[in-house]
Amino acid sequence: MLRNGPTRSLTRSLLRSPTVSSQYTSTIGRSHAKLQPKPLARTPQSQLWRPSSLVTNPYKQSRTALHRYASTHPGNPFDHIDKKHEKDVAKTAIEPHPEDVSTLSSVRQVMHEEGVEDKERDVDMLAGVKADLKTIRETFAMSEVPREALVLGMAGVLPYLATSISTVYLAWDINHAALTGSGFLLSGQTAELLLHIIEPLQIGYGAVILSFLGAIHWGLEWAKYGGKHGYPRYAIGVVAPAIAWPTTLLPVEYALIAQFLAFNYLYFADARATRRGWAPHWYTTYRFALTFIVGASIVISLIGRGQIADKINRLPGPADRIKALRDSQMESLEAEEKERRAKLVSQEDDEDAE
């Protein structure tokens, strides 16, 4: 631990005599003869206890060093002060070195060297942000995805995104017509009519995409990609349309929320299938990009529709039509029952009259 250069020099300085000023050294040397102690009576050698064999006497070393310096340097030339040289030095201007000045130059540690970069303090504060941006860039790069699948997949989600953007614009036009009395490009009635046409198109197209994503697993099973797995892989293809198509019977808001959850569930199922080797290794990244676009489109549609929830009339959906059909059937049955009872009453009256 103490084998390097700085620590060796520090150890030697501790073992040597304490450092004193030159003036103090010369004074001690000149007055040493006056302070010489009187000789004591000699004590027998057997009665002496020598602690020098156990510890070092620092006062003895210091006195010996002062004796040696006073005997070898008579006159002590270091006591002389060259006042002329000091005046010349005082008149000399100090050369500035701004490159050596920093916020840490006055608190530099003793063992540090000037001009050496302190790697411990050189910390990149944006390292975490850069790592996150790199991860996002690598995720959306999709360099390993086949070009045909990438082009057709992105083209497939464009209609879904277009319906969402159209919903937002029509909602804004309806609000504009409600505030000013006229729409920006379309009238309020026309914008509302187009909105009622676009909404079922978006929900129906979402059901088609969900069914297609489930059918991919049937194709992988038939191609025996990653081996034959039977019902577990077929089940993914069955569950997808079973969840997708009932959403067409729900109101618009509930249908969009249900499809949003269905897309996320299928992404989770595809990620597990990829991890198990049932799908290509690039399929998870590919599905993430498509699911991100579709999920963002659904959120945009919900935001746009939420702005006009109290300004438009809701058109009857499939569930409303089924309920209306059931009510009409009940009404027809009640009417038939009334006619039948009326006939029976009239027949009884005729029989009584006869």
Which has more confidence, 127 or 194? 194
Name the CA dihedral angle for 306, 309, 312, 313, rounded to a multiple of 10 degrees: 130
In whole numbers, what is the pLDDT of the chain averaged over residues?
Answer: 76
The C-alpha angle with vertex 183 and arms to 180 and 189, in degrees rounded to 5, equals 110
Q: Where does the pLDDT of residue 252 fall: very low under 50, low under 70, confident under 90, or very high at 90 and above? A: confident
Which parts of the chain fold into alpha helices (H)? 5-15, 22-30, 58-72, 83-91, 127-141, 147-180, 188-222, 231-244, 252-276, 283-306, 318-353
Q: Contact at 8 Å (CB) between 207 and 185?
A: no
pLDDT for res 215:
92
Cα-Cα end-to-end distance for the chain: 134
Q: Contact at 8 Å (CB) between 204 and 249?
A: no
Say how far residue 24 (Cα) sits from the centre of its chain: 67
Which has more confidence, 328 or 353? 328
Q: pLDDT tens for residues 81-121?
A: 788 888 888 888 888 777 766 665 555 555 555 555 555 55
Lowest mean pLDDT of 45-59, 162-176, 309-323, name the range: 45-59
pLDDT for res 222:
92
Q: Where does the pLDDT of residue 28 fall: very low under 50, low under 70, confident under 90, or very high at 90 and above? A: very low
Which has more confidence, 55 or 175? 175
pLDDT for res 78:
57
Model-level pTM?
0.53
Cα 343 to Cα 71: distance, rounded to the nearest angstrom: 153
Q: Where does the pLDDT of residue 216 fall: very low under 50, low under 70, confident under 90, or very high at 90 and above? A: very high
Tokens in use for 268?
């989770």
Cα 274 to Cα 234: distance, rounded to the nearest angstrom: 15
Residue of 163, 152, 161, 158 lying closest to 216 (CA atoms): 152
**Which residue in the block uniquely carries the two structure tokens 């944006």?**
126
Q: What is the CA radius of gyration of the chain?
A: 49
Cα 234 to Cα 250: distance, rounded to the nearest angstrom: 27
Q: Which helix (H) or strand (E) holds 262?
A: helix 252-276
pLDDT for res 330:
85
**Which residue in the block uniquely carries the two structure tokens 């916020």?**
103
Q: pLDDT tens for residues 258-316?
A: 999 999 999 999 999 999 899 998 898 899 989 999 999 999 999 888 888 776 666 56
In the predicted model, is pLDDT for residue 1 greater than 60?
A: no
pLDDT for res 52:
46
Q: pLDDT tens for residues 171-191?
A: 888 888 877 877 677 777 888
Evaluate the CA torsion angle 290, 294, 297, 299 in order and state its sign.
negative
Name the CA dihedral angle for 66, 69, 70, 73, rounded to a multiple of 10 degrees: -170
Q: Report the interhelical angle of 147-180 vs 188-222 (nearest 10°).
A: 160
